[in-house]
Each structure stands twice: as structure tokens, then as C-alpha cells.
Chains A and B, each alone.
Chain A
């Protein structure tokens, strides 16, 4: 019933809007097409809109510089992606700036006036040739550079001694399994899920016994995925129920987890958590965040790498996360030693 009340308000607003127009005598206009005066006002206002768009662009670029991800990508692959991104973004901004200026300037400059005669200009093969070829050449460059980058990021075939980690997604949490001493993951399938074997590892597979399932940190009771700096990590992704997506924005990495198959993504972490915390962008961002949190009466936080779910997966999709810790390889190896293998834990 309350909904009806809101609908009536909406209708009433519409009627008010029309009555105002009637009161102002605006309905009696004889002239159907825009008058020179209307052309003049709206042509000038178009320049205002252009200014608004430019101001919005600058404000968005400048105003969000402290909230974006840290400039420093946390993996070797991120370097390639970020460079391609910078070039593409620069190109886009230049084109955007010029084309918007042309649209709104022409609209303003050629707004209809009494004496103006439009110029009959139907075709120019030379012009059209130019603006077909120019984008074609620019895009050819973007395609070649883009595909080169794509191969750099996706091709894991020449990785030396990669670390194999399985990420296992389910509503609404992440699990992980390190491949252990043989660096080969034991087979797994949901049909083997039983009791504490929550990832469904086939324990009859000889590669399974030395696998290490990520256990919660005994102090925080939270799972923390440890990664070594400087060693390529190949993630094998699986899902238990619906689609999920392992999104690690600081490493510029993302891949879906698909039930029934194993997907893969790799990267080489290049910045430890400690180094990233000390990086100026990160420091500024977290100073701002903590100031904000303080004003809301929340506890302070410090930077951590994150794995987020980025494919709609159900009610708690918005809170499906895993903390990632990047550390020096020696520290990583020390930590890994403290973890129990499946043979010990199951």
C-alpha cells in the first residue's frame, strides 16, 4: 500500500511539471521547430555541457589518483599490462578530448540563425579514406602490441621451476593446496569430498600425499595464502559449485573457476607485502582509509594483498575473500615447512 503512495507522488510530480509549463505560457508556441533564440541558448549551453564533461574528466582523473590501485604492479606480468594500459589510456584521452571538442564546438558554432545557409557537403572520398586508414593503422599497432602482451602474460610454458598452487572456490570461501615436494598436484574431484577432505583430493593418487592444504593461521584463525617473491606461480583453479573468479587486482591477474574443469593463470610476484606497504601510493591510500575509518569508529587496517571473487556466485558474493602474503623465498620456504601435508592432516 505504501508503494502506491510513492507512485501517486510520482504522478503528482508529473502533473505539477506540466501545470508549471502551462502557467508560464509555454504551451502556446506557434513555432514548431526551434527558434533562433532557442538555438542560441541551447548552442551556448552545449559549450557548458562540454566544459562539464572536461571538468568531470579532470576531476575524476585527479580526484581518484589516491583511491586507485597502487601504481606499482605486484608481479612481473603487471609491468607489461600496466605499460600497455598507460599507452592505451593516453591514446583514448587524446582522442576523447579532441572529438568531444569538435562535437560541441561545431554545435555551438553552427547553431541555427536566421541568415545561415548550410553547406551542401555530401561526400569526400579523400577524407573518408583518411579516417578509415588512420584508425586502421593505430589499431594494427594496438593489436600487435596487445597480443604480444597477452602472450607474455598467459604463456606459462617457459617458466623455470614454477610453484604449483591449486585455488579451490566454493560458496563463499577460498581454499588452496600447494603441490608439495614433487610439485605435482594429486588428482581431485568433488566425488572424493568427505569429512576433512574438503577439496575432494583423490588420496589413492601417488602425487596427493605430499600436497599441502592451506590451513588457517593459528593466531588469526584466517587463511593466508603465502607466495614467494621472484618465483613464478602457476595457479590451477577449480570450483566446487558455481562459477567463481579468482581476482587478484594488485597482481593484475584474474581467471574464472569453472566446475568440471581446471583453469590456469600464472604470475611472478615481484613485490613483497612489506615492500608494498612501504610504497608511497599504498601509504597515502591507507592513511586516507584509516582517517575515514577512525571517523566512523572502526579499527585501523593495514595493506594486504587480496584475492576477491569476481563472478556473481550468490548472496555472499560481495564478501568472498582470501588474504595473500608475498614474502622473500627463504621466508616462504620456512613457512611452507610448518604446514602439514595431506598424508599428515587427513
Chain B
């Protein structure tokens, strides 16, 4: 690398950096800021759900006209749930999670100097930044931000007459998402090319850490499905602004018949969910990948069934592209299609079950180092199972009829992809913080953060299933209009209290994160005694990652606690990094 001694200015080092490690940090910080906004919004609307009509100073302070007198308006409520969903799904759990760790770990774990294209990588981040700025700006337009739900089904999202949020706010939402998708595609293409072409000597595909497999497959699903959302958004822009009728037909609103004829909102639903469902796995697979690595390292054991894990990632990715119709059982889609989607949807439970069993077996007879990262990973396995199991109800078309669009669904997907993915992200931050900032985070704050977060996550989402089973629909501003829901108020109060605890607990994490960057103890090179290549790189970041030659890979990444013929640990330590040559008489996996 000729640019080792290249002089960096402040701008090229911290702002328009092409270094994957800096870009990873930029993704993480941007994702965290968006996460603060998204989680804070959920705390506000939880206040409304538990105490409908009561006045809160904080609501008036932040929501302005939409919260006049301390009570939010119905339009503001819908805006909050919409933007909360959009921000958490796309900006935090897609860009913030995958963008951060794919960028940080792909070059470091496969043994590459940087991403295949540093420039595209920089472009990808800045487009993400731009889309975040547009999304945040859309909160300040006078007619309010997009409010038609994060799924923005037309005609509601297409007609400003239908709700104020479908005016300028919706236009900004669509522009922001279009830029976001471009950013995501640039990132994904870069990840795929880097994994395929830039692996160091000896790093066969079957020696890749599971993190890389997860990022690699995630990038492929992203490239397949995100363009479809882009086309859906473009057609919606046409319908909104240029009078076309892709999604609209026979509409009478605000006292007049509109000219639209021949379109179908169901077409939009198909296009949206063709991304929307794979999106769940775009969020979840990286979290599972990080967890695989964290669990193996901290259990001091190989991940159980490495090849089965890869096979299930691939199976999940494949199936994820043919199950989108399970979001549409009651939309008027042909019931026969419903049967097909029930079949494919329930199949996805098989690879998911394999993954869950493999994690549990990895814990069995380990020597578990319960670091905060490990705690969050174990929490992920727990919430992934709790949330995943109710998928068997929602994926079964007959049962979905009665719980579709109720709070049961909200509870299900928050546990299985929201909480699980956030736990994966926390695990990743705690585990790789030393790699990112060269310092350690505080463990005690980490534990406190975990306990409060885990308890409140279950406290919020477990009882929520039952409000759904009582028939309570989602996206209801309040449920006082229906006496049959009167007795759910107590449950709503419990949920809100846990939500507030969980929200405030994140302050502990933020304090720990930002102060540790400056004040944390200096990190050793390999703090968790891990096998993967990133821990062979020096603590101080440098362009090109390794001084001199890139280490060669001689073995798979999970040789933890491997013993020789006499039952003694090889080399007297319970880990063997990937660059250590196979010793004489050693069994190879």
C-alpha cells in the first residue's frame, strides 16, 4: 500500500473518509442518533396509550402544535408511529446495524486492506446521512411528517386529502427513502465484491466467520429486494405528482370523484412486501451473525454445527424472498395464493429452529464468560425464540385472519426482529468497541444496561400479545372509543411503565459509550481472546489495517478449547487464532 504515509487532513480523516473503520463509526453514530429519536418517539406515544387525554409537559415541549396542551392529536400520534417504524427499521437496524458492522468487520475478518471501493463506501455513508437529514427535516413541515404507517399503503399515502401527513411530509419521506435505497445498494454491492474477491490467502469461504457469512448473504438479499421498493416508491411518486393510476382507482374523497382508474393498491402491497419481508432478515441476519461470533468466543467453544449454520442462513435468505404474501392474507389477495404463502412461511421455521438449537448447544458444557456482549447475545437467543414462535400463528393464514393488524402482531415483530436485532447490535458494540475506539467500555454499566433492557423488553412486549388477542387493533390513537377495550387500560399502563424504564436505561448505554471513547481504559490487542483476524491487527487504527503482510489463514475461526490426543489444551491456551498453522497431529475441522 503506497498511501501508508499519506498525510491526512481533518476532512479526509473524519468527514470524507474512505477508510472502512471510520465509515463504520460514522454509520454507528448516525444510527445511534436516529435510534435516540425513534425510541424517544415510542416513549411519547406509549404515554398517550396508557394515559389517553392526560396532559404531559414533555409532549407539548417536543410536539409543538401536535401536542398543544400536552395532549397529542390523532394526526400527531399516527405521525409518531409512522416515523418510529421507519427510523427503527431502516435507519437504525438496517443502516446502523449492518452498515456499522459490515464495514468494520468485513475487511478486518477476511484479511483485506479495505473495502473493494473506498470511494463507493464513502458515497454510501454520505447518501445515508443525506437521507437521515431529509427524514429528520420532514418532522418539521407544517402539515406534519408522513403518517400513513411505515408501510405507507396508498391511497392513504397518496392523497393529501386523506390525511395532512400525506402532503409534503410524504414527499420528503419518499425522497429520503429513495436516497436511502441508493445508499444501501452501494454498500451491499461493495460488501459482496469485497467478500468474494479480497479474502486473504487461505481464507476459503468455508473458513469465514459466521459474521461474514451473515453480512454477505444479507447484502445479496438487499441487492435483490431493495430495488423493488425503489420502483414501488417511484410509481407512488408518479401517482402522487403526475396523475398516473398505478395504485389508485375509483376514489371519492373530500366531496369529489378523482380521475384515477384501473390501478390497484394491492400491487403496491406486493411490491412493498417483496422488500418488506426480506427486510426482516436484512435486519436479523447480521444480528445473528454477530451473536454467533460473540457466543462462540465467550462460551470458549466452537459454534455448534458451523456448516448447518451457513446452510440455514442461505435457506432463510432464499425462503425470505418467497414469503412476502403472508403480510397480505386478508388484503383481498386470492385465497389460493394465501395457501402457497402459508406453506413457504411455515417452512422458514425449520432453518430458524436449527439456528436456535445450535446456539443452545453451543452454550452446553461451555465455560461461559458472561461479558455484557455475551449477555445481550443470550438475550437475543431468548427473544428470538419467544418472538419467533408466535410467527407460527401469524404465518398460518387461517389464524392470521383474527390477529392480523392487532397488537399481537406488534408484539411479535418487536420481539423477533426489533428487540433481537437491537440486542445483537448492543452485543456487537460491547464486543467490538475495543476494535473501534481502542478502549474498553465499562462492564458494570454494561451489566446494568443489560438487566434493565432485558426486563423491560419482556415487560413491554409479552403482555402486549394479549391485548392483541383481546382484539385491540394497532395504530389506534386510543381505545376509549370502544367499551370492550376498557379493561385493557391496566395492561397498557404496565407496558408503558416498562417502556419508560427501557427507554431511560438507554441513557446508561449512551453515557458508557460516549465517555468510554475518551476515558475508557486502553484496550489490549485481543481482549476477549478471540480467534478471528481483526484481533491480530494493531489497536491503533491504520490505513491498510495491518503493518506489513496481511496474516494468512490456516484454519477455521472456531478452534476454542481444542485438545490434543492426551486431552491437554493445544498450546496451553483455550483459543487458537486463525493464522496459527495446523500443528502436527491436530484434527482439522
Contacts and interface: CB of A to CB of B under 8 A. Distances in A.
Interface string B541-585: 000000000000000001011110000010000100000000000
A100 B301 contact: no
A250 B361 CA distance: 43
B398 A118 contact: no
Given A142-B396, A171-B162, A17 B507 contact: yes
Interface stretch (A64-72, A202-210, A217-225, A326-334): A64-72
B535 interface: no
B243 interface: no
B155 interface: yes
B463 A312 contact: no
A191 B61 CA distance: 45
Interface in B289-321: 299-302, 304-308
Given A52-B455, A263-B332, A33 B476 contact: no
A331 B369 CA distance: 71
A96 interface: yes
Contact of B398 (A61, A81, A247): A81
A240 to B, nearest CB: 5
Contacts of B58: 6
A193 B355 CA distance: 56
B367 interface: yes
A1 B481 CA distance: 34
B315 to A, nearest CB: 10
B401 interface: yes
Contact of A241 (B149, B252, B358, B510): B252
Interface in B350-406: 350, 353-354, 356-358, 360-361, 363-371, 374-375, 378, 381-382, 385-386, 389-390, 392-393, 396-399, 401-402, 404-406
Given A27-B519, A318-B476, A64 B263 contact: no
Contact of A2 (B57, B264, B484): B57
A119 B265 CA distance: 56
A45 interface: yes
A128 interface: yes
- What size tier do the contact residues of chain A reach? 35 or more
Interface of chain A, main secondary structure = helix
B304 A92 contact: no
Interface in A130-167: 131-132, 135-136, 139, 142-143, 146-147, 149-155
A116 B369 contact: no
Contacts of A118: 299-301, 365-367, 560-561, 574
B370 A32 contact: no
A284 to B, nearest CB: 10
A147 B445 contact: no
B396 A110 contact: no
A314 B378 CA distance: 40
Contacts of B266: 258, 261
Given A42-B375, A139-B349, A155-B335, A60 B399 contact: no
B301 A34 contact: no
B207 to A, nearest CB: 13
B392 A142 contact: yes
Contact of A318 (B299, B356, B477, B484): B477
B507 A123 contact: no
A191 B350 contact: no
B130 to A, nearest CB: 24
B521 A27 contact: yes
Interface stretch (A7-15, A173-181, A226-234, A335-343): A7-15
Contacts of B364: 106, 110, 119, 121
Given A6-B58, A117-B367, A128-B305, A56 B574 contact: no
A29 B483 CA distance: 56
Contacts of A102: 360
Nearest to A135: B353
B188 interface: no
Given A57-B462, A245-B405, A285-B487, A146 B301 contact: no
Contact of B475 (A53, A57, A317): A317
B511 interface: yes
B263 A260 contact: yes
- What size tier do the contact residues of chain B reach? 35 or more
B221 interface: no
Interface string A241-279: 111010101101111101111011100000000000000
A18 B398 contact: no
Contacts of B347: 139
B457 to A, nearest CB: 10
Interface stretch (B115-123, B192-200, B465-473): B465-473
A57 to B, nearest CB: 7
Interface of A: 2-3, 5-6, 10, 13-15, 17-18, 21, 24, 26-29, 32-34, 38-39, 42-43, 45-46, 49, 52-53, 56-57, 60-61, 64, 66-69, 80-81, 84-85, 88-89, 91-92, 95-96, 99-100, 102-104, 106-107, 110-113, 116-124, 127-128, 131-132, 135-136, 139, 142-143, 146-147, 149-155, 170-171, 189-191, 193, 200, 237, 240-243, 245, 247, 249-250, 252-256, 258-261, 263-265, 285, 288-289, 292-293, 301, 303, 306, 308-319, 321
Given A14-B507, A292-B487, 13 more contacts: A56-B458, A81-B399, A95-B385, A116-B367, A117-B574, A121-B365, A123-B307, A128-B354, A150-B335, A150-B396, A254-B330, A258-B265, A260-B264
Interface of B: 57-58, 60-62, 73-75, 78, 148-149, 153, 155-156, 159, 162-163, 248-253, 257, 262-266, 299-302, 304-308, 330-332, 335, 338-339, 342-343, 346-347, 349-350, 353-354, 356-358, 360-361, 363-371, 374-375, 378, 381-382, 385-386, 389-390, 392-393, 396-399, 401-402, 404-406, 434, 440, 442-445, 447, 451, 454-455, 458-459, 462-463, 465-466, 469-471, 473, 475-479, 481-484, 486-489, 491, 504, 507-508, 510-512, 514-515, 519, 521, 523-524, 527-529, 558, 560-563, 569, 574, 589
15 contacts: A21-B442, A52-B455, A52-B458, A85-B402, A96-B386, A106-B360, A119-B561, A191-B257, A242-B155, A259-B251, A260-B248, A260-B263, A308-B482, A310-B473, A316-B74
